Amino acid sequence: MTEAMDATPDADGARLALGKRTFEAALGTQADTFAAQVDALAPGYGRNILEWEFADGYNRPGLDLKTRELVIVASCAALGAVGHPAVRMHAVAALRAGATRQEVTEVLVQVGFAAGLPTALGALQAAREAMAAAGSEGA
């Protein structure tokens, strides 16, 4: 995931294609399914996420995929309950990227010091459930 792209309009579909490839490699699920679910809430937003976050953001230089996923886990955990769906998704993505279950857990423990213990405990539960459901995938 090192193809650097800029945020120019995607007339030829290159950013969307890169975003889909990156999404599927990172999360192990179909990008089109994700985009359709998001588009049901806000038409066109799924494509925006795939282009902006997964084509442009994930492919920036400077961080490896494992680090990016752990940052996302921590950031979403700090949001509290509203971030739990993303914690579930990205905890498993972190495992797929080479993080250990202990690293995901320790990141969430650390969140407790900055975002509060109840916030961290809720995120730990969400991550635990997702990682258990994922089984040994990425572990």
- CATH code for the domain in which residue 115 is found: 1.20.1290.10
DSSP 12: T
Does the pTM of the predicted model rise above 0.85?
no
Structural domain harbouring 23: 14-57
pLDDT in tens, 38-90: 999 999 999 999 999 999 999 999 999 999 999 999 999 999 999 999 999 99
Looking at the domain assignment, is residue 4 inside a domain? Answer: no
pLDDT band at 4 (very low <50, low <70, confident <90, very high): very low
Short-list 27, 18, 32, CA closest to 97: 27
| Domain match, 86 and 124 both | yes
